[in-house]
Amino acid sequence: MVDTASYHQQQAYLDMSSATANGIHHTQANGHNSQKDQIQFNIEQLTADFDLAGQDECNSSARMFERTRIQVLADERGYVQKKTFTKWVNSHLTRIGYRINDLYTDLADGRMLIRLLEILSGERLPKATRGKMRIHCLENVDKAIMFLQEQHVHLENIGAHDIVDGNSSLILGLIWTIILRFQIQDITIEEYESTETKSAKDALLLWCQMKTADYPNVNVRNFTTSWKDGLAFCALIHKHRPDLIPQFKLLTKDNPNHNLQLAFDICEKRLGISRLLDPEDVNVEYVDEKSVITYIVTLYHYFSKMKNDNVQGRRLAKVIGSALDSEKMANEYERLVNDLLAWIEQTIRVLNDRQFPNSLIRVHEKLVEFNRYRVIDKPARFADKGNLEVLLFTLQSKERANQQIPYQPREGKMISDINRSWENLERAEHERELALREEILRQERLEQLATKFNRKAGLREKWLTDSEKLVAR
């Protein structure tokens, strides 16, 4: 179809050309050269005007194409965001048995919006108003908006009527604001080589860079083009769960759809992370940044929770291990106490025995045994007694450090009971020594008396023998 302005311009050019030809024929007698120059000027002017008209037409078409292209990209971005945000909302609502089908219509009554905010914040919002009339919907949405304002969330140009009326761009903006507030805002990471603390989007990007730094084929610079080949997603998974992608080194940039599909499948089927994106949402010329951030922040919270669970698990294992160690130490204490007290009791019984042999040599043997006890047996048991005190002190100190109730030995097994038994042992030992020495003295006196008696008896026997010999003569 010929543009009207273009048609009139061409018609004027033809008319002017005809007039110019007639002028040439008419002026041949009046000065051929001067008229020819004027005609040439007119032709050049018309040509320039025609070229300008054509250029304006081309610029107009280019501007129309650009506007159409921008609108198409905006529609594509809105479609991807709607799909991603709908899945993100459902990933939270399904925890309490709810879900939405259409992001633009299912939030209109405000009830799902209130439930979503309660899940994300952990707080109780005002109860939703019953009824399906517009005024009821406006009231419920207004409750959600007021709660967000109390949380210092800035909602620019978003009112309850926008959500109730299904304003797509403002609904997407509201959900993105909620994601920023409850999923991204609290992310803070301190760089290793700097005391500067990054927050929100920059912190999330830094986290991605830190986790993928060891992967040569991955270079995360943004939340758009850096994720198109799928390797960054796979690297995040492999960093935290290398067992899920054991053949990571075989992945290449040449097969982006395979990489993306692999990452999304693993997250959905093995990690339980909702499939917010599909390969065709990421492997495109213009990647929607907000959709990618929404998915990545979901991965961030999952892996952070996994790390915290691991830390808690290690702490629990440490506590359990400490408890087991404490129990083992307590059992060891009980065993050593029983053994020591049994030895003390048996030794006291032996030391209290006063049935000594009627031989000085045998009594001296008893004294040698007693001295061996004092030099060898008793010091070893005294060391056991000291070790028991150290063991109990260590056990109780460890339990206090772990904020546990300190172990208390049972009655009769306390350190004071051991000390009391040890005092009884030393008393019996002292009395044994005295008894042995008295017995030795007694035996020695008996030996002396026996020797004296035997000497006198010998003299008497000799006298009797000599007397018998004299009588016999």
Per-residue CA distances from 220 to 190, 212, 263, 277 (Å): 18, 8, 16, 18
DSSP class of residue 249? Answer: G
Contacts of 391 (CB under 8 A, 6+ apart): 329, 332, 333, 336
Tokens matching residue 140: 């419920």
Q: Which amino acid is at 135?
A: I
The residues, any chain, with a CB within 8 Å of residue 414's CB and separated by 6 or more, are: 408
pLDDT at 124: 94
What pTM was estimated for this model as a whole? 0.58
**DSSP β-bridge partners for residue 197:** 190
pLDDT in tens, the chain (473 residues): 334 444 344 444 434 444 333 443 343 434 444 444 554 555 555 455 545 555 555 566 666 656 665 667 678 889 999 999 999 999 999 999 999 999 999 999 999 999 999 999 999 999 999 998 999 999 999 999 999 999 999 888 899 999 999 999 999 999 999 999 999 887 866 554 444 445 678 899 999 999 999 999 999 999 999 999 999 999 999 999 999 999 999 999 999 999 999 999 999 999 999 999 999 999 999 999 999 999 999 999 999 888 776 666 666 667 667 777 888 999 999 999 999 999 999 999 999 999 888 888 898 898 999 999 999 999 999 999 999 999 999 999 988 887 888 999 999 999 999 999 999 999 999 999 999 999 889 888 888 888 889 898 888 888 988 888 888 87
Are the CB atoms for 140 and 113 separated by under 8 Å? yes
Q: What per-residue confidence (pLDDT) applies to 156? A: 82
Non-local (6+) Cβ contacts of 347 within 8 A are 373, 377, 425, 428
| pLDDT score of 471 | 85
Largest CA distance in the chain: 221
